[in-house]
Amino acid sequence: MRSPRVPLVLAVGLAGTLAVALTAPAAATASAAAPGPKPVSNSLPKVPVMRGGGGAVSSVDAVASQVGIDVLKAGGNAADAAVATAAALGVTEPYSTGIGGGGFFVFYDAKTHQVKTIDGRETAPSTFTQRAFLEPNGTPMAFDKAVNSGLSVGVPGSPATWDLATRSFGTQPLGLLLRPAENIARRGFVVDQTFHDQTAANAARFAKFPATAKVFLPGGSAPAVGSVFRNPDMAAAYRELRTRGVASLYAGRLGRAVVDEAQNPHTAPGVSVPHGQITTADLRAYRALPKAPVHSRYRGLDVYGMPVPSSGGIAVAEILNLLEAIDQRTGIRLGDLSNADYLHRFSEASALAFADRNRYVGDVPNVPSSELVSQGFADERACLFSPGTALKRPVPFGSPDGSYSSCGPTATTSRLPNDGQSTSHLVVTDKWGNAVSYTLTIEQTGGSAITVPGWGFLLNNELTDFDFVPLSPDVPDPNLPGPGKRPRSSMSPTVVLDHGRLRLVAGSPGGATIITTVAQVLTEYVDRGLPLVDAIAAARLSSRNGVEQAEPALMSSPDANALTAKGHVLASTPEIGAATAIRVIGPDDFEAAAETVRRGGGSAMVVNPR
């Protein structure tokens, strides 16, 4: 249900913050000793699980979660709090999200019991052709070359998403909700190990772009842990959006600055990078799009996710449907298996779903979405499953043609798509029972590495989510570059209802591993009976029809040997995903949960802890 409009209460709540913001000096940089205002901090503790009422927020960052809590406390609803939290993450997690990126916003309206979504995906320019990522000789461009370039920059969708979300679902003006982000950018926040490490890991490519080095490598290197990081240029960008509206990006001076930099990135001496193609006309044409969610059923629950151009909703639904189909075929439920057998089923279901996703899902007409998420299709696909032996990768894709009686003719794609690594996910519930599950990104950690001069935010490299060349010469590829096209995503913001009532919201960053992470968290919680925070903390496996990644805790467990004995080929990877979730225990009784360790641990908060 939409909360009543209470601008006065919220205005008072955030005006105190703004007053501090307006008195802050405008030229500070990262330094523990730097004079200046006190950095912004959180008043609730940074913990991975918290229970209580009044609403809940979970994100990767305590300062950002606190912003959402403050908005809820001041009378805003879940959509308001989600937008304010997202904007704050743009400041404290600038390598994962921000003004220069895009994302997918899922809203549950407690009054109508409906789930609605916004597709805020970045979009290719009108001149972008199928050959955009080919060298003149027709070979695909090196991935890193494409990432660190203006060419990979899509029209940003996040500000348009925030604008549409607040107008469609919120109760507060966007200008008010952007104030905390502006304030954090101006006053600064204390650098933690994760921020330091992400900066250090990207220092070499950041140094290629002087505007990026100026903001994110103050003094030439990554800010020290414990120092204060301020970004007055980004504060100016939020102020611009706050006072002039998102039109400044889509039809104004902020947009011109984005286009100028993407078309002709300023580079360090001796560095040259491919130029971008986006124009002010592309920005003017951009729309965040309201879309109906993907819906499927799992264990009697209603699962809602993002439709195309994300593959997240479809692939998560197919994995879950396959797990139900395998229960049926074997007569043994997922919850009754050993952990190794559970992981075997999960891996096989994931590989099958990825085969179908890669073959059928992209920003093209006539994606067979409803067939892909149908139980009939999953039942047919499950005929390939064997309890004792892993399927040989790559597994073939299926035939979602509405006629499901046999295993059917199948074929494989020979290559795998590129995978990103970054992004951020946040979840919010409010005391009225509304909820948001929102994943937002600039693609790689650090995006294109190009900062818009004078405005302090990084531009995305989302267009590298397109397949540069078809995955197989003889199989249609729905994810090739195209004019005005949105690259396929894996983002999987998810809402789960139980008989029309909100039960759970969840999601994760992690490129293509997002899909497996969300499906694993759901099954660990729903089927394996783990408490939500343990379902999030559980060692992860990401099987994507080629590479099968496992976290070290899994690699060193007996489960890894059992999986290997069945023919799985596991590759150790330090960390998969960084999930956040909230479960509803009862009316106005929430448990917010986040990572205990990954990415330095997340931040779960409620308005009134109990």
Residues at the contact surface with ligand GLU, assessed by CB under 6 A:
420-423, 441, 443, 462, 465, 489-491, 509-511, 514
Whole-number minimum distance, CB 510 to ligand GLU, in Å? Answer: 5
Do 450 and 150 touch, CB atoms closer than 8 A?
A: yes
CB 610 within 8 A of CB 456: no
Angle value at C-alpha 506, between 163 and 305, nearest 5 degrees? 65
465 is in an annotated binding site: yes
Least Å distance between CB 53 and ligand GLU? 32
Smallest CA-to-CA distance from 206 within 278, 274, 268 is with 268
With respect to ligand GLU, which residue has the nearer C-beta, 85 or 513? Answer: 513
Rank residues 186 and 544 by Cβ distance to ligand GLU and give the closer one: 544
Beta-sheet pairing, 424-430 with 435-441: antiparallel
* Residue 113, SS3 per DSSP: coil
| CA geometry: angle 18, 610, 528, nearest 5 deg | 110
Q: Is 489 annotated as a binding residue?
A: yes
Q: Closer to ligand GLU at the Cβ: 188 or 420?
A: 420
Which amino acid is present at 321? N
CA 8 to chain centre: 32
> Per the annotation, does 511 bind a ligand?
yes
- What is the CA 148 to chain-centroid distance, rounded? 20
C-alpha span between 254 and 268 (Å, rounded): 23
CB of residue 418 vs ligand GLU: minimum separation in angstroms? 9
Angstrom distances, CA of residue 572 to CA of 417, 440, 516, 548, 550: 20, 26, 16, 9, 5
Nearest approach, Cβ of residue 182 and ligand GLU (Å):
25
**DSSP H helices in 306-399:** 312-330, 339-360, 369-372, 375-381
Q: In one letter, which amino acid is 541?
A: L
Rounded distance between C-alpha atoms, residue 315 and residue 490, angstroms? 8
**Strand pairing partners for 489?**
310
Q: How far is the CB of 421 from ligand GLU (least distance, A)?
A: 5
CB of 573 to ligand GLU, least distance (A): 13
CB 307 within 8 A of CB 313: yes
Bridge partners of 581? 506, 593
Q: Residue 217 or 491: which CB sits closer to ligand GLU?
A: 491
- Whole-number Å distance between alpha carbons of 435 and 79: 7
- Quickly tell me which residue has 């650098």 as its tokens: 191
Residue 187 backbone dihedrals phi, psi, to 5 degrees: -80, -30
Which helix (H) or strand (E) segment holds residue 550: the answer is strand 548-550
Name the amino acid, one letter, at 221: S
- Which residues lie closer than 8 Å to 222 by C-beta, 6 or more apart? 196, 197, 199, 200, 203, 216
Q: Which is nearer to ligand GLU, 147 or 538 (CB)?
A: 147
Q: How far is the CB of 425 from ligand GLU (least distance, A)?
A: 9
Measured from the CB atom, the residue of 176 and 306 that comes closer to ligand GLU is: 306
CB closer to ligand GLU out of 170 and 487: 487
Q: Which one of 423, 494, 516, 580 is the catalytic residue?
A: 423
**423 tagged catalytic:** yes
* Binding-site annotation: residue ranges for L-glutamate: 121, 465, 489-490, 511
* Binding-site annotation: residue ranges: 121, 465, 489-490, 511
* Catalytically annotated residues: 423
